[in-house]
Chains A and B, each alone.
Chain A
Amino acid sequence: MLEEQKKVAIAVCTGMDQPLATVARYAGYHVLEKLRPDKTVLLCTPALLGGVQEDVDFIKNNPALVIDGCEEKCCEKIVKNANGKIRAIINVKDVLNEHREFQPESRVKLGPNGMKLAETVGEIAAKKVDEILEADKA
């Protein structure tokens, strides 16, 4: 039954300033739509800030994976503030440090390398989703 399986909330920074925030956005979509569609739910950070009940409730009642775009860690702060249960955090900057070849072009258009970075972040997130759900089963 669809509503019985626990899912991981994917919370993305949705920042506007940095190209890595745009990378975080696409990484969130990648893990939700391509990699783990049956195991994840996308949280809308602006909706959480705007008090949209479905996002406010979901983050309180489900494990969260945060994808932040920079060292300011805005999404982590926002989710903590909303009493979210953060079980994993990925910072896109850290992933870029490991994959310097995947430099995004700009915050408006990531380009092929930026999209590759987003996919790489998505793959890391997907593994963390599996770990979270496995740990919760035990």
Chain B
Amino acid sequence: MSEKKVAIVACTGMGKTLGTVARQVAYKVVEELRPEKTVLICIPSMAANVGEYKNQVKNYPSIILDGCVERCATKVISDNNGMIKGRLFLPQLVKKYGLKPGPRTDIGPEGEELVTKIAQEVAEQVDRLLP
């Protein structure tokens, strides 16, 4: 494992719309905002022992995006001895930004705006972890 990066972990849950939002936030951070500083963690692949994800969460600081009260991404990363350095609880961010996303299959314009705002928060957290 070479240079330090920040692992971005989205819950990617299916049941609620914020699972879709979390997913989109992770993509935005990793592909657009901080591509050089981040890696994307795929929770199902990690659970199935595919790829380097288990090593990455152990060795890189993680920022977790949890979509609901179950906080599954936090639980899974904790169970895998991950280094959790940031946690965003998306329901509270819905309240904070006053933006209500549409359904899980189409989050709509408010959902897109919410993705943009949360992704910016994550990017700033990444910068604090890797100045």
Q: Which one, B20-28, B55-63, B89-97, is touching chain A? A: B20-28
Minimum Cβ distance to chain A for residue B125 (Å): 19
B15→A16 contact, CB < 8 A:
no
B72→A47 contact, CB < 8 A:
yes
Q: A46-B73, A47-B70, A49-B72 known; A15 and B42 CB under 8 Å?
A: yes
Number of A-B contacts (CB under 8 A): 93
- Using Cβ atoms and an 8 Å threshold, which residues of chain A touch B104? 29
Nearest residue, chain A, Cβ from B26: A16
B71→A50 contact, CB < 8 A:
yes
A108→B27 contact, CB < 8 A:
yes
Among A26, A42, A72, find the residue whose CB has the most chain B CB atoms closer than 10 A.
A72
- Using Cβ atoms and an 8 Å threshold, which residues of chain A touch B19? 44, 46
Size of chain A's interface in residues, with CB distance under 8 A? Answer: 31
Q: Does B45 contact A (CB under 8 A)?
A: yes
A42→B15 contact, CB < 8 A:
yes
Give the 7 A-B CB pairs with smallest separation, nearest first.
A50-B72, A74-B48, A74-B44, A50-B75, A77-B48, A16-B42, A46-B72
Chain A positions within 8 Å of B, measured between CB atoms, are 12-17, 21, 25-26, 28-29, 33, 42-47, 49-52, 72-75, 77-78, 81, 107-108
The answer for the CA separation of A16 and B53 in the assembled complex, in Å, is 12
Residue from B41, B70, B75, B105 in contact with A16 in the complex, judged by beta carbons closer than 8 Å: B41
- Using Cβ atoms and an 8 Å threshold, which residues of chain B touch A46? 11-14, 19, 43-44, 72-73, 76
A13→B44 contact, CB < 8 A:
yes
Among A12, A17, A51, A81, find the residue whose CB has the most chain B CB atoms closer than 10 A.
A17
Minimum Cβ distance to chain B for residue A37 (Å): 13
- Using Cβ atoms and an 8 Å threshold, which residues of chain B touch A75? 44
Nearest residue, chain B, Cβ from A45: B44
Q: Which residues 64-122 in B have Cβ within 8 Å of A in the complex? A: 70-73, 75-76, 104-105
